[in-house]
Chain A
Amino acid sequence: MHVIDFVQNLISGIAVGCIYALAALGFVLVYKSSRVINFSNGQLIAIGAFLAYALAVWARLPVLLAALLAMLLTAGLGFLVERVFLRRMVGQPIISVIMVTIGLASVLDGLMYLTPFGSGNFTFPQVLPQGGLNLGGISISYPQLLAIGFTAVFLLLFGWFFQRSVLGMAMRAVADDQMASMSLGVSVQRVFALAWAVAGLTAAAAGIVVGMVSGLNQDGLIAIGLAVFPAVILGGLDSVPGAVVGGIVIGILQSFSTAYLDGVLSQVGLVGGGSQYAVPFLVLLIMLWFKPHGLFGTEEIERV
């Protein structure tokens, strides 16, 4: 029985981790291309998910179309954010740019409170059949399968985009060396804008998957945005594969800490459980102490 429980937890962890991996992808892209730590990622996730909900339930579009539209719209929002706020900050110290994203997160929060989504829970319309696969006692629900499958498809698309397409290569070039790519005719501005658009796109994708797996709620969605930070530090801030691995590892850790650690903690004297919210950040701190560049991040030669 123990083994089955273990595998079950592992699978639900991987499913959650896939969501983090999706959300982390866009974050890493923005960091890679412009060295900006995006604190408004959680808000982008929430907006993407709520847009999809609004389109699917209120405008009665088919769910798949609604999801696609929501992703495009959130990508547009990311693009707009870069255009309106971040482009003005070019040349400013990087601290100011990061603080702009903190302010932006607050603004987006406020905007969401202006809609009915600011409070309450929302459930996506059921598109998947109830239940799931049953493999020798281990059950995988269809939403979990969907989360894993969706992430896999997205990663393949991304892999193709970065390895083969001209724009993807331009983005990698800018991430590597802005000056050199500029002198070779790559429009750095366009790449920045594109990075933010992709960040919006992946954030929305993550939000939609959350909506399909469980309910939507603003605080919960923003908490996912925060959990992206441990994932990317674990994987290395500037590594795309690292983001995926980090996201999945954090998801598994969360699932295990709910299953195993909560009981231990309540014996120690901490009540209420919920260690899944603290463990990722503990991992973040420990990583920063011992291996700050993460598992796959480039170790900068330049020290402190």
Chain B
Amino acid sequence: MRNPWAQTGNYRTSYVQDTTIFANYREIVSVVGLLVALCILPQFLERSQVLVLNFILIYAIAVLGLNITTGYAGLISVGQAAFMGVGAYTVALSAPSLPFWLTIPLGGMVAALIGFIVGIPSLRVKHLYLALATLAFQEIFVWVVGRSPALAQGAAIPVEMRNFLGLEVGFRTHNYFWYYVILFVLVLMVIAWRNLLRGKYGRALIAVRDNDRAADAMGMDPGRTKLMAFALGAFYGGVAGGLLAYLQRAVVVEEFTLGRSVALLAMAIVGGLGTVVGSLLGPAFIEFLRLSMERLSEWMKASTLIQSITPAGVDVASALLPLSFGLVIVLFLIFEPRGLYNWWRLLRSYFRTWPFKY
């Protein structure tokens, strides 16, 4: 007795099937079930918990973008946080005059344009150099924002959004309102992601990543394909940044530093590069890790025993975060390069013939 719901792997056998979004009705049912669950989930949660969920979903959007650049095109980006920042600042500057459903796509578009410019070297050089281009952009972005009086020199710029179609978004409903907005945007972005990558362009991306010369010989333009991937990844980042600006009601440059870019990369790796499931699992895992590390460090600060054994001048709390992030990246890359997505797959395949072994 095989359990068809626990089916893993790719069961698409023909080209027609390969270009469909869902291989069979079970996938549709699972996705709809997941969406319904996500829709009613906030009813059971407190405001602060919904906020955590909001962050996870926003990072999921940014990681989806990173999964196009890094997962599909094979270009390492250590600048995704800066692209988020571009989106967030675009939103902050345009929010007073435009409604949010215009400012957020606008933020994405500006980020995509800048991603395009940063990615221009990909027309000429291979992926290694691109990592450095994104690093340069990340550093320049933080510097420019930190020195521009028009952007409050990186200090908080308030982003206000008080009502939507006559519906007042107050202090109590803020997190819930934005939860549904973010969820809606995430669903749109996932649909776009899947549609983009199952078609001609996605195939070209995979071909260029796996062997650029062969792809070139078969008539694809590797440079342009990669550049496009870069701009798309930046677009996702910009949209995520715009949502973050509204959610936090303010934009601060500390949200968009190199450390955050590395955290986003960690999310993509931990989740599993190039998968939608991974783009959701990765941010959830890393945010959970961050929260538990914060709790641990609070506990350590409170405990007198630990305070008495640590030498003066040592700040254990601020060490925990980089240490755990770095370890997670390194350990996942060494022991489970396919990420949490693979654990999810193994879990399902375990239940395929459950309770029997074969």
Question: Once the chains bind, are B315 and A118 in contact (CB under 8 Å)?
Answer: yes
Q: A107-B322, A304-B223 are in contact. Are A271 and B147 (CB under 8 A)?
A: yes
Q: A102-B262, A103-B327, A118-B318 are in contact. Are A270 and B132 (CB under 8 A)?
A: no
Residues in chain B near residue A284, CB distance under 8 A: 132-133, 135-136
- B21 CB–A CB distance under 8 Å: no
- Smallest CB gap from A278: residue in B: B143
Contact residue range for chain B?
35 or more
Inter-chain CA distance A303–B146, complex, in Å, is 37
Q: Mark A109-129, 1 if CB is under 8 A from B, else 0.
A: 111111110111000000000
Q: Mark B183-211, 1 if CB is under 8 A from A, else 0.
A: 00000000000000000000000000000
Inter-chain CA distance A99–B320, complex, in Å, is 20
Cross-chain pair count, CB within 8 angstroms:
175
Q: A37-B128, A119-B313, A272-B153 are in contact. Are A106 and B135 (CB under 8 A)?
A: no
Inter-chain CA distance A237–B262, complex, in Å, is 23
Q: A37-B132, A96-B337, A226-B139 are in contact. Are A114 and B316 (CB under 8 A)?
A: yes
- Across the interface, B131 reaches (CB within 8 A) one of A37, A92, A108, namely A37
- B319 CB–A CB distance under 8 Å: yes
Question: Once the chains bind, are A106 and B131 in contact (CB under 8 Å)?
Answer: no
Inter-chain CA distance A115–B150, complex, in Å, is 39
Question: Once the chains bind, are B143 and A103 in contact (CB under 8 Å)?
Answer: no
Question: Once the chains bind, are B313 and A233 in contact (CB under 8 Å)?
Answer: no
- B140 CB–A CB distance under 8 Å: yes
Residues in chain A near residue B129, CB distance under 8 A: 233, 237, 288, 292
Inter-chain CA distance A105–B269, complex, in Å, is 16
Residues in chain A near residue B313, CB distance under 8 A: 116, 119-120
- A164 CB–B CB distance under 8 Å: no
Question: Once the chains bind, are B144 and A278 in contact (CB under 8 Å)?
Answer: yes
Question: Once the chains bind, are A99 and B314 in contact (CB under 8 Å)?
Answer: no
Residues in chain A near residue B59, CB distance under 8 A: none
- Smallest CB gap from B337: residue in A: A96
Residues in chain B near residue A230, CB distance under 8 A: 136
Give A261-304 interface residues, CB cut-off 8 Å to B.
265, 269-274, 277-278, 281-282, 284-285, 288-289, 292-293, 300, 302-304
> Among the interface residues A113, A269, A274, which one has the most CB atoms of the partner chain B within 10 A?
A113
- Smallest CB gap from B221: residue in A: A304
Q: How far is the CB of A294 from chain B (nearest CB, A)?
A: 10
Closest 5 A/B residue pairs (Cβ): A110-B323, A106-B326, A103-B329, A113-B319, A107-B326
A103-B326, A104-B330, A271-B148 given; name 15 further pairs at CB < 8 Å: A106-B325, A106-B326, A110-B322, A114-B314, A114-B323, A118-B319, A120-B313, A271-B153, A272-B147, A274-B147, A281-B136, A288-B120, A288-B129, A293-B125, A304-B123
